[in-house]
Structure 1
Amino acid sequence: MSDQPKLAIVITCYNYENFVEHAIRSVTDQNRDDCELVVVDDGSTDDSWNSIQKFSGIKTFRTENKGQPKACLYGFSQTTAPFVMFLDADDELKPGSISRIIDHLDPGVAKIQFMLTRIDAGGNVIGEASYSSKSFRNRSDLTRQVLKTGVYRSPPTSGNVFRRDVCELLKDCSYDTAVDGVIVFAAPFLGDIVSIPEALGRYRVHDRNISGFGRKPDAKIIAKDIQHFEQRMDHLRTIIRPVAGSENLVDAEKTFYHQERSFFLSIATGQKPRVSALAKLLVKLVTQDFSLRNKAGMALFFTLTSVLPIARAQALLAYRLNVGQRSPMGFLHLIFKGA
């Protein structure tokens, strides 16, 4: 390994013995001496640690189970590179991806993002990620979007690389259960965001994804998601105060994301969303930066889940939140199933 690595990759693992070797090998096989790799076993109770120890020449650590954010922070503390990627143990990098990433690194970059090819548990390709694949290097447009909406389109954890000072913000995120929360939305205020318009990694979709693979929507998970979003917004307000003025950031409750998740929560708890909540959400949808096709589809989804029997509305919501492959035909099947 180089004495001055340009990129650090931190892999954290909890009971992913079936996948972690693929994640590690996807990095080591690229044979980059300017990239440091750290693997943290977050107190796994399966055979993950033995799988990790099969690899020599990389830093490996085993800790008590404390959750992804703390495991990532521990791994981060063992690195020195100016840029860091947190690669989930069930995901992988594609050959040549590290070279492509490093080519885009410079001190003015706060975050790099790229597409991820979706694969199943066996590694079979099931589709590309759904977020924008446009190439850009931007800061001002994204800061305005965050101030207005609280979010911008960003890939899952494994599709991001952060400058080291951005990662330092994680030390104040004890409220969160994810590592890619506030740092994603703070990044544009700290430097440029670079989007690489190609899939450089693989995002594995399987029955242990937290998003809920085909299961009934979990009201507790959705409620926690809303709570974490509110906490991230409060934290973000503190972070951006010196550079953008905290008063310019939209209130969490006024964002489309918050209103959409609150709408989902009503359905998940077995309650019909109020007509006023539907109307409010549809009005907010019109102002969002989605394509006309996406807006039409979302409007139809919100309307149908408001009028269909609650069991069928919950089935539609479960399909909507599924991290796997979705299609219009799949939605139609659920709508008319049993009709």
Structure 2
Amino acid sequence: MPTTIPLVSVIIPCYNYGCFLAEAIESVLGQSYSNKEIIVVDDGSTDTTREVASHYPEVIYVYQENLGLSAARNTGIRESQGEYLIFLDADDWLLPDAITINTQHLQQQPKAAFVAGSHAFIYDNSTRIERIIPIAENPYQTLLAQGNYIAMIAAVMFARWVFQEFVYDCSLTSCEDYDLYLKITKSYPVVQHQQQIANYRIHSAAMSTKIPTMLASALSVLSKQKEALQSKEEQQAYRTGTRFWNNYYCGLLHYSLVCKPTPYSKEALFFLLSKSPSLGFNYAAHLTYRTLQRTVKNNLVSLGKQLLRQAGILQKSAPGIGEVARGSFKQLSPFSNEFGYDRGGPIDRYYIELFLQKAAGSIQGRVLEIVDNEYTSKYGKGKVAQSDILDIESDNSKATFIGDLSAAPQIPDNTFDCLIITQTLHLIYDFKSALQTCYRILKPGGVLLLTVPGLSPIDKGKCQNIWYWSFSAQALHRLMTEIFAAGSFEVNSFGNVSVASAFLYGMGLPEVSPSELNYYDPQFQVINAVKAVKHSSLA
């Protein structure tokens, strides 16, 4: 008998986002999955939402008076017919295989309430930062302790039976997704994977005006779980989560006030003093310093420097001793210990992906990557005949080879057209043997694409005890000369003092400007990379 293809309902609530709506609808129409319906719920819009929706005969258009996002989604549930449901905000969009990927996961695990994949942040300047969802062993406890790690609602597909028991809480004006995730994972299993499903549009906005409300909403949602906690682990996760939300939103507010040209806000100062006194006092000190600095600069210093420059005496100068404004960097601990994943994405990943993008023409034929094949899939589309994965851990079901790269006799000689070895060599004590293995298993003419840390924090997680090395561009040049002597190679290096400082403090990629990222100073190498080609003859 032919396999039934379940109907998938994509519900798009829209309130005055007509300017984005067409892109959202077309991302659904362009899906590789065929059996779908699109329901646009117009939540009392006064813009072009109705007109945009009417251009698409495939769309089921539903109008309601403005009742809020939660009510609009609940309306979409009632109007839908699908076995599976997706909620796509009108300013976001799905990737072409999103429905196919998530449907396959739910069909394989029919008892799961929902499946959640990964997504990317798209900023106003078109910067794209991929966010890889962590795979939590206990999703409920992780949501308690670490907040809404699942995050983007469009990367989630729900089984319809879920909404016989749960609906969106219409009393919430934010964090309604977090509330729903907590309720569901408390009682039912869910599926998680790390494939990219959707793009999340980040709008520029006055963050300082929204954060107090967002924090209050997050803590309110979390507090609703307090009476239902059943174990010491859940109680501890709850306490950790309360601290997490305070630290997260106070950190965001402090950053927006101190690191951006934001006007003084008495309300923000009082909020920080009440929720995070250390950040509140830091902001107060920053305001005092900024006022004094402006006074001095507008009088004596600016006039003196102007006269010296006019006389040709002063061309470029560093701040004098005692004049350096350290701001947020004047603390002994980083802003984040997660390499920037919790602040929009790691800075070093920008350089890694820039390097791989430029070398994408070499990612073809049979390709081997470490732990997963994310970069093989991303940069080798249409060119890769076979994708292999090497992992030292035997529980990686996707790995085609298990073993240590420094001693891998089970991998045959002259096998691969391309090796993608990113951020791995520093975790191997005998790194020379690992590079010799790379040379051995490459086909003649095959290409090694290698990235290594230069200036970097050390992982505080499972890699802490095996983080052995950092590599300069000069060290890589010597190594490649020894191992790829008969072939050819080029060494690329990225970074500068500003980027290195931001990376060490745990700042995220959106917090660093493109002009900073693209300036290179060889004295501060954050990431170094090698493209090496094995000699074309076996003689």
- TM-score scaled to structure 2, two decimals? 0.45
Kindly provide the amino acid, as one letter, of the partner of residue 193 in structure 1.
Answer: V
Q: Which residue of 2 aligns with 1:234?
A: 223
Distance 1:254 1:117 in 2: 26
Report the Cα distance in structure 1 between the residues aligned to 2:105 and 2:76, rounded to whole angstroms: 23
CA distance in 2, matches of 1:295, 1:29: 31
Following TM superposition, by how much is the alpha carbon of 1:57 offset from its aligned partner in structure 2, in angstroms?
A: 3.1
* Offset of residue 13 of structure 1: 0.8
Q: For residues 152 and 70 of structure 1, do their structure 2 counterparts lie closer, same or farther at Cα, with a shift above 3 Å needed?
A: closer
Cα displacement string for residues 19-66 of structure 1 (whole angstroms, at most 9, x for unaligned residues) = 101111111232644323211111111111100011113321111111
Instruction: Read off the aligned partner of 2:193 and give its amino acid letter.
Output: I
Task: Say if 2:160 is the partner of 1:164.
Answer: yes
Between the aligned partners of 1:289 and 1:166, the Cα distance in structure 2 is 36
For the pair shown, the structure with the greater C-alpha radius of gyration is 2
Give how far 1:125 is off: 4.6
* Partners of 2:133 and 2:150 within 8 A in 1: no
Which residue pairs with 1:189 in the alignment? 186
Which stretch shows the higher mean deviation, 169-178 or 33-42? 169-178
Contact 1:7–1:34, Cα closer than 8 Å, also in 2: yes
Q: Which amino acid aligns with 2:116?
A: Q
- The 3 A distance-change label for structure 1 pair 189 and 246 is same
Indicate the residue corresponding to 2:57 in structure 1. Answer: 56
Paired with 1:158 and 1:30, the residues of 2 have a C-alpha distance of: 14
Instruction: Give the corresponding residue for 1:258.
Output: 246
What is the SS of the residue equivalent to 2:81?
Answer: coil
Counterpart contact for 1:117–1:125, Cα < 8 Å: no
Deviation at 1:181, TM superposition (A): 2.4
Q: 1:141 aligns with which of 138, 141, 145?
A: 138
Cα deviation for residue 182 of structure 1 reads 0.7
Distance in 1 (CA, whole Å) between partners of 2:123 and 2:85 is 26
| Partner Cα separation in structure 2 for residue 276 and residue 47 of structure 1 | 43
CA distance in 2: counterparts of 1:12 and 1:252, whole angstroms: 33
Shift of residue 244, structure 1, vs aligned partner: 9.7
Instruction: Give the 3-state SS of the residue equivalent to 1:189 in structure 2.
Output: helix
> Which residue in the other structure is 2:399 paired with?
none
Aligned-pair CA distance for 1:84: 1.9
Report how far residue 293 of structure 1 moved.
6.8
After TM superposition, give the deviation of residue 264 of structure 1 in Å: 5.5
Distance 1:126 1:257, change over 3 A: same
TM-score, L = length of structure 1: 0.68
Contact 1:115 1:196 in 2 (8 A): yes
Question: The residue matched to 2:213 in structure 1 has which SS?
Answer: helix
Partner of 1:110: 113
Match among 119, 122, 126 for residue 122 of structure 2: 119
Aligned to 2:12: 11
What amino acid does structure 2 have at the position aligned with 1:326?
E
Matched residues in 2 for 1:103 and 1:151: separation?
27
Number of residue equivalences: 286
Measured after TM superposition, the shift of residue 18 of structure 1 is 1.6
Q: Secondary structure at the match of 2:113?
A: strand
Q: How does 1:1-339 map to 2 (within 5 A)?
A: 5-30=6-31, 32-105=33-106, 106-120=109-123, 125-130=126-131, 132-133=132-133, 136=135, 140-147=137-144, 149=145, 151-167=147-163, 168-207=165-204, 212=205, 215=206, 217-218=208-209, 221-237=210-226, 240=228, 250-251=238-239, 254-262=242-250, 269-271=268-270, 274-275=277-278, 291=338, 325-327=510-512
Once residues 244 and 188 of structure 2 are traced to their aligned partners in structure 1, the CA distance between those partners, rounded to angstroms, is 25
Task: Describe the shift of the 1:89–1:233 C-alpha distance in structure 2 as closer, same or farther (beyond 3 A).
Answer: same
Partner Cα separation in structure 2 for residue 243 and residue 108 of structure 1: 24
1:254 to partner: Cα distance: 4.0
* Identity rate, percent: 20
Query: Structure 1's 254 and 185: CA in aligned 2 closer, same or farther, altered over 3 A?
Result: same
The Cα offsets for residues 219-248 of structure 1, whole Å up to 9 and x where unpaired, read as xx222112211221133345x558999867
CA 1:49–1:225: 2 relative to 1, 3 Å: same
How many Å apart are 1:216 and its aligned residue?
Answer: 5.8
Instruction: Give the superposition deviation at 1:253.
Output: 7.9
- Letter of the 1:274 partner, please give it: P
Judging changes above 3 Å, is the alpha-carbon distance between structure 1 residues 278 and 166 closer, same or farther for their aligned structure 2 residues? Answer: farther
One-letter amino acid of the structure 2 residue matched with residue 156 of structure 1: M
CA distance in 1, matches of 2:161, 2:280: 40
CA drift at 1:278:
8.9
Q: Alpha carbons of 1:145 and 1:45: their partners in 2 closer, same or farther (altered >3 Å)? A: same
Q: How far apart are the structure 1 equivalents of 2:104 and 2:69?
A: 28
Contact 1:143 1:189 in 2 (8 A): yes
2: CA distance, partners of 1:82 / 1:290: 41
Shift of the 292–200 alpha-carbon distance from structure 1 to 2, 3 Å rule, reads closer
Q: Is the 8 A contact 2:175 2:218 kept in 1?
A: no
Does 179-188 or 102-111 show the bigger shift? 179-188
Segments of 4+ in structure 1 off by > 6 A? 242-246, 276-279, 292-297, 328-332
Cα deviation, 1:57-106, whole Å, max 9, x if unaligned, reads 33211111111111111111112334321101011111122111111113
> Are 1:17 and 1:51, in contact at CA under 8 Å, matched by a contact in 2?
yes
CA deviation profile, 1:165-195 (whole Å, cap 9, x unmatched): 5455334452343441211233332333333
Q: Which runs of 5+ in 1 are unaligned?
A: 280-285, 298-315, 333-339
Q: Is the partner of 2:128 in helix, strand or coil?
A: strand
- Structure 1 pair 330–227 and aligned structure 2 pair: CA distance change class (3 A): farther
Contact 2:117 2:133 in 1 (8 A): yes
Amino acid at match of 1:107: P
Q: 1:161 to 1:275 in 2, by over 3 A?
A: same
More contact order relative to length (CA 8 Å, sep ≥ 6): 1
- Structure 2: runs of 5 or more not aligned: 258-264, 283-332, 347-501, 518-539
Relative to structure 1, the CA distance from residue 171 to residue 101 in structure 2 (aligned partners, 3 Å threshold; closer, same or farther) is closer
Alpha carbons 1:118, 1:129 under 8 Å: kept: yes
Range 227-236 or range 157-166, more displaced: 157-166
